[in-house]
Structures are given as structure tokens and as C-alpha cells.
Amino acid sequence: MTPVSSKKLGVNIDHVATLRQARGGNEPSVLEAALEAESGGADSITVHLREDRRHIQDSDVLELLKKIYVPLNLEMSLAPEIIKFALKTRPQKVCMVPEKRQELTTEGGLDLFSKRDLLGRTVESLSKKKIQVSLFIDPLAKQILEAARVGAYAIEIHTGSYANARGGKKEKELSRIRIAAQLGAKLGLKVHAGHGLNYENIFPLLDIPEILEFNIGHSIVSRAVFTGLCKAVSEMKKIITSGK
């Protein structure tokens, strides 16, 4: 089982691009944000290339691939043009996620059965390019079993329900995540977690040894407004690696 000190942090910088797009200029720089996150201890950088290009742009992905040192994790839907882009650019990691045009952020995990054949072909195509493919799913046994069947490298457990839960429901959601992580690891999948995690609610998840990596964006970028991005990332990395 993985000790806390070995757990990794992926930093999502989509919200930096959102701020840039609000004015349509070049500031703040997505690349600079990625380099600051690296300096703070990020083990990977995550960006979501949405179909409507509301924040991250194709050019951002290309620049990041050339200039950052840690792996790039590209979140993406099953849209044909996005799949084609990923196969051409070959990021080190891809995380398949659901996508709705009107949502503010990703709502829920991917239903691996809704486009089963397309998903299987896409995972196979990306894997042949030596891209590590993870699937962003809810902590449900049937989804985890399907992730293993289609040959995914990893699953990323959607932690949004846990993050939003209160009282006794929070413990129930935590239990669901724990059971899902155990099943994923048993099936040979790498287990990641993300969505809605912050500097407080992450602590119980650190006690789940099967979770190897956390992908966090909003809470880190929010803290960075007051501390700077390097420090905000460093603080989260310290929590993940020390449990304090």
C-alpha cells in the first residue's frame, strides 16, 4: 500500500485560463502558472481542453508540452476533434471526462456504458501512442469494472459528492470512495481522485492507501490569489505528503 509521502499532486490550472479569457488578452499566462505550480511541487499539470474552448486553448496545450518538465494531464471528452488532437499531440496523460456545454465545471463521472464502443476504441488508440489513459468516474463498482475491461491505465474517482456532503452523508460518501479505491487497485488500475477537494476535506482521503494521486485546481488557484501560486501549491503538496 502507498504511504502518504508517496502520494502525488496534479494541479489543474484551467481557472488561470478562465481569468485570461475574461479579458481576451494574454494575462495571466497559463505557462507561467504551470511553471509556478512546478516550483511549488506539482507532480503533473492538468488542463481541460473543452469543445467550446472556454478557457484552455489548443495553443496552451502545445506550449505546455514543449516547456513544462512534469507530465501534462489532458482532460478531454469523446468529441472526435479532441480525440484527434490528443492523438496528434500525445500528452503524457489523458483523463476522459464527461462534458456538457452549459456546466460551470464537470458534473459527475463519465458513464462508461453510454458510448461503450467509442470509449473502447479511444482508450485503445491513445494507449497505442503510449499515453496513460484514466477515466473520471463516480465510485461505482460497475463503472470500475468497465474501466478495467476497456483497458484503462487508471481511474480518477469523482469526489464531488463527498466534497459537497454534510454530516453523516459525508462519511457515507467517504466509504463509497474507499470501497471504490480498493476495487480499482484489486483490478490492477491506478487510482486517482479529484473534484471539489480543498485544504481541509482532503485529510480523510489521505488515509485511503490505494489513492496514489490527487488532482486539484479551484481551491489551489483560489488560495493563490492571496499567497501566490507557488506557495499555494507547496502548501497542498505538504498536506498530501505529510498528512499535516
Tens of pLDDT, residue by residue over 35-51, are 999 999 999 999 999 99
Indicate if the pLDDT at residue 137 is higher than 60.
yes
**Cβ atoms 150, 112 nearer than 8 A:** yes
When divided into structural domains, the chain yields a total of: 1
What integer pLDDT is reported at residue 70 of this predicted model? 98
* Torsion angle (degrees, nearest 10) of CA 167, 235, 73, 128: -90
CATH of the domain at 167: 3.20.20.70
pLDDT tens readout for residues 17-39 = 999 999 988 999 999 999 999 99
pLDDT above 50: residue 103? no
Question: Does a structural domain hold residue 244?
Answer: no
Judge whether 46 lies within some domain.
yes
pLDDT tier for residue 82 given thresholds of 50, 70 and 90: very high
CA distance 115 to 132: 20
Q: Is 242 domain-assigned?
A: no
Catalytic residues: 48, 75, 195
Other CB atoms within 10 A of residue 2 CB: 15
How far apart CA 36 and CA 58 sit, in angstroms, is: 21
**Residue 97 falls inside a structural domain:** yes
Q: Residue 243: inside a domain, yes or no?
A: no
Helix 229-242 / helix 30-39 crossing angle, nearest 10 deg? 40
User: What's the pLDDT score for residue 2?
Assistant: 52
**Per-residue pLDDT at 24:** 87
CA pair distance 152, 154, nearest whole angstrom: 6
Cell of 180: 471504490
The cell numbers describing 9, all together, are: 499532486
Position 93 in a domain: yes
Domain that holds residue 73: 4-237
- Give strand pairing partners of 94: 74, 133
